[in-house]
A = this chain, B = another copy of it.
Amino acid sequence: MEFDEIEKGYSFNATFLVSDEMIRDFARITGDNNPLHLDDEFAKTTQFKRRIAHGMLVVSLISKVLGRDFPGAGTVYVSQFVKFRKPVYVGDTVEVQITVKDKNKEKRRLFLITNVLDNDQEVITGEAEIYLPE
Where the two chains meet, the residues of A that have a C-beta atom closer than 8 Å to any C-beta of B are: 16, 22, 25-26, 28-34, 54-57, 59-64, 67-68, 73, 77-84
Known: A60-B57, A63-B54. Is A32-B79 also a contact (CB below 8 A)? no
Integer count of this chain's copies in the complex: 2
B25 touches A29 (CB 8 A): yes
Q: Is the CB of B25 within 8 A of A68?
A: no
In the bound complex, what is the Cα–Cα distance between A82 and B129 (angstroms)?
Answer: 10
| CB atoms of A34 and B80 under 8 A apart | no
For A80, the chain B residues whose CB sits under 8 A away are 56, 59, 80-82
Q: Judge whether B78 and A30 touch: CB under 8 Å.
A: no
A78 to B67, CA, bound (A): 25
- The 5 sampled A-B contact pairs (Cβ below 8 Å) are A29-B60, A30-B63, A77-B84, A78-B84, A80-B80
